[in-house]
Structure 1
């Protein structure tokens, strides 16, 4: 992901705030950071072993300019930054009464934060934005993402083949089916793709490779639905 400039809340969660430095983070490679985050949450016991309570959420729009607040890469006091796209993990525990959690490695908010707190402070839906800055969210079930996602990092090279941002030290991520790059399938998000939130969408996200797309007024609704 890339950013450009645009001219402390804390809410109790079901998981105590963790030290974000214990998780792998390469600046500008949020999709890979979240891929590794999901794996670590599964192996550490912080999530279901198969990742069934985790969702990878891509945030973008047709113009590739989405403002988010409380981002550590920002140079402003309010932490606002304009990403071309951003990727976070949302955890939806099966236990009754559990609040959905957001794991955002680039956020200055508590790690993790409740979804309600993250929406109100990072997405700020009450803030009036021009149409070009509206945020859309591709929600992908983590077990599917971990099998299907691939990136050879071609999007981080300029026309001369030079790196725009230093790549991670580990090798590129290859999908189980052998695909070497499909990031564009995930971060290409348009308003026409927005789904109606309901039982069908809850089921669809559990079997569709690219999940479903919701708008910013539907995000909390989707994660508050009864899975039963």
Structure 2
């Protein structure tokens, strides 16, 4: 069952290509869970800065991390930001240059993030990040050193002001162009995890964990 998200603000409302807009939480969560890479837009010293980083979701909250001493982490809790996540699914090859397009799924989230200061919440969020990438990995790792924990900043943003855009399917050409002897269609893009490559200093007898070894059997982007 699809659960409708709250009506987005005017800034989150999709205007161009509105027929591709989706605001339901099922679509929103599926895209965020499928693509860990995001781009976060800030204003730093009066200038726009867009930083790529990893994001992960817990319920209706989006998290990302960075160096606790970075300007972006320090400034983010004092300003509105824009977080984007995009997945390219294929090239849409039409009978005219104007009607070429791409199949894609994207999310734009607006809001003012909060810095996670509570140590237990912060540790739980970092664990969720690792588990979202490699399930079962956190408990196999050595515990974080205090200096590592201090050096890592975690931001959280409510997903209450978000919108999605999705395009799928074949090209849409002008009616008269369908009679032209020109090939048209879709060139799908599917990313796949490769075979794990052990670090050259892995100790003898240490086998690749099953959770890592099984990655090549599935798609790169979760949820596809």
TM over 0.5: no
Please state which band the TM-score falls in when normalised by the shorter chain.
under 0.3
The structure richer in strand per residue is 2
After TM superposition, the score normalised by the length of structure 2 is 0.25
